[in-house]
Amino acid sequence: MFKVGKVTHYYDKIGVAVVELIADLSVGERIRFSRGGEDLFEQVVESMQVEHNKIQSAKKGDIVGLKVDKPVREGTEIFKV
């Protein structure tokens, strides 16, 4: 398990987290959300967007919109499982 990024913003009305990536991430991969060392939940990446365009994968340094199953807060870390 290694860190792929962190949440910089969360849109509660649409359930989308803005994530700054420090590693590559693709649709279909399983990720875990953690905050303050506490695991919050896991999910499979089902939808990712850059500038409102759907993408299948993103690279280190990209800032993506990620559809999430549960609310998350800014600073929440994301790990590949």
CA distance 20 to 6: 6
In the chain, the number of structural domains is: 1
> Does the pLDDT at position 2 exceed 90?
yes
Residue 1 has pLDDT above 90, yes or no: no
32, two tokens: 């875990």
Distance, CA of 8 to CA of 29 (rounded, Å): 20
Give the domain CATH number at 24.
2.40.30.10
Give the position of tokens 């590559």: 24
What average pLDDT does the segment 48-67 reach? 96
Q: In this predicted model, what pLDDT tens digit does every residue of 38-54 receive, in sequence order?
A: 999 999 999 999 999 99
Range of the domain at 21: 2-80
- What's the whole-number average pLDDT of the chain? 97
pLDDT at 81 over 90: yes
